[in-house]
Amino acid sequence: MSDILKVNNPTAGFDNAPRTHPISVNDTNVQNIVDMTKVTRPDGKSGNAEKELGLSYGSNFGTFLEALRNTPNITEILSDILFQMSGETQQVSQSGFMSELTNILKGMNLTQDELLSFIKEQASAAGKFNSVFFQAVEKLLENTKSADLQMEMLNFVKIYNDASSSQSTLKNIQSILKNISTYMTSNYRQPLQEIMNRLEELSQNRSEGSQNDITSFLKKEVVPFLSTYIKNTNNMGKVRDFIAMLTLNIAKYENGSMDKLEQSFKRLMDFRDFNNVFNGITVNDLKKMIQNENETDFSKYFTDALKRGLNGEGGWETKNAFQNILQALILNESVYMPLNHIMVPAYIDGRPMFSEIWVDPKHKEKNEKGVKEECKRLLVKFDIKDLGLFDLIITQKNNGVDLQLYYPEALKQKENGIKKDIAKIMENNKLAIKNFSLGVSSKGKTIEEVFPQIYERINMIDVKI
C-alpha cells in the first residue's frame, strides 16, 4: 500500500536510510564550505568603478554625473545643423526657423577684433557674477568672520539674481499660463485668456512701479482664479503640475523686486566690513549693472531657433537633435557645474566654424614644489567645416601656459607647421609655453577628462530627493 502521508512516492531503497547530522564547517568530507557567520575576503572580481568612488545614482550629484557622461556633443550637433542647413537658407523664404538660422549665420561673419569682442560679450552674459563687484563680494564672504554678514550677503546675491532675471521670469509665467489654458476645461479657458491679456498689458509698462503692479496682479487675480479652478474641478493632472511651477516663478519674481534689492543693500551697508569695501557704491549703480545684463543678439536668435527647432519647424528629423542640445544646455547651467560655458559661431578664413569653450577660473594644480596653486584651465572644442573637430586644452599659470592640441587625422602631415604657428601666437601675446603636446584626435575629449575635479565632490555631496 502506498504511504498516503507523503507527498511523493518514496524512492526505493531509501525508506530506512539512516539520518545524518547537518553539514558543518568542520566536516572534513566536504571541501570549501562557506561560513556565513564570518566576513570573508573579496573574491577578486573587479567591482563597478563608480561604486568604488562612492558614487550613488540615488543622489542629485550622482544623477548629474551620469547625465554629464551621457550628454551628446553639442559642438558636433550644432556644426552639422549650421553647416548643412546654411545652404538651405538661400533656397527658401526667410521666415520662421530659417529666418532665425540666417540671423545666426550672418552673425558668424566677424573680423578678428569683432570675434574677440563677441567672445567677451558671451563670457560676460554667461557669468553673471564675474564682475569686479561680485569678485569683491566673494572675497569678503570668504574672509569675514561675521555669520550675520555672510547670511545677509547670500540673501543679497539671491535677490540680485532674481532681480536681474525678472523679465525672463515674467516670460516663464506667461508661458506657463498659456500651457495651463491648453489643459483646463473650456468654460474656464476664456476667463483665463482675459487675465493673460491684462497681464500682457501690464508687462508692456516699463515704469518704476510696474513690477510691483504685476506682482500684486499675480497674487490677487491669477492665483485666486487658479485656486478656484482646482477647488471646483478637482483637476489633479497637468494643470496642477503647471500651477506648482507657476507659484515658484511668482515667488521668484516677487523676490526680485527693486525695493527688496534696495532694502537688502542698505542692510549690508550697516555692516562695517561691507561698508569699508563698498563705500561709494549706490543702489543706482546696482540697477545700472542689471540693466547692462541684456540678452545678446546671438543668445536671442539662438533661443528662438532652438524653440522653433523643438517644435519641428526645422524638420522632424532634426527635432531630436534640438532636444539633445537643450538637454546639454540645461546641464551646463546646473548648480553642480563649476565651469563657465560659451558658444561661438564664426567664419575662419572663409570656413564656417562652431566652437564651445569651458572655463574653470579656479583650477588648481601642483607646482614644482608639490604645492597646489590656483590657475585657469580652458577646454576649447571647435569644428571647422571640411576639416573636422579640434580639442584645445589650455592651462594658464602666471605668464606661462601648458597646451594640448588634438587635431583631425587629415592634418597629421602639417603638425610641424601647426606647432610653429601656435608658438608664434603665444609669443605675440607675451605668453611663454612651458609644455606643448600635439596629437591626432581619435575621439573628442569629454568635460570630465579635462576637469577631473568635478568628481572631487562625489563623497561630499549626497543629497537625495
- Residues 380-423 have pLDDT tens digits of 998 888 888 899 999 988 778 899 999 998 898 898 999 899 88
pLDDT (average), residues 288-307: 72
Question: What's the pTM?
Answer: 0.64
pLDDT (average), residues 184-204: 91
pLDDT (average), residues 198-208: 84
- d(CA 350, CA 446) in angstroms, rounded, equals 28
Average pLDDT, the chain: 78
Q: Is 264 helix (H, G, I), strand (E, B) or coil?
A: helix
Cell of 65: 554625473
How are the residues of the chain apportioned to helix, strand and coil, as percentages rounded to the nearest 5? 55, 15, 30
Angle separating helix axes 132-143 and 147-164, nearest 10 degrees? 150
Which of 8-22, 68-82, 127-141, 253-267 reaches the highest mean pLDDT?
253-267
- d(CA 424, CA 422) in angstroms, rounded, equals 5
Looking only at the bridges linking them, the beta strands covering 400-407 and 340-348 are unpaired
For the cut 80, the answer to whether the pLDDT of residue 307 exceeds it is: no
Which of 2-6, 256-260, 286-290 reaches the highest mean pLDDT?
256-260
- The set of residues, in sequence order, having a beta carbon less than 8 Å from that of 450 and lying 6+ positions away, is 358, 377, 379, 393
Of the pLDDT bands very low, low, confident and very high (cuts 50, 70, 90), residue 23 is low
Residue type, 229: Y
- d(CA 298, CA 114) in angstroms, rounded, equals 13
Q: Is 388 helix (H, G, I), strand (E, B) or coil?
A: strand
For the cut 50, the answer to whether the pLDDT of residue 89 exceeds it is: no
Of the pLDDT bands very low, low, confident and very high (cuts 50, 70, 90), residue 55 is very low
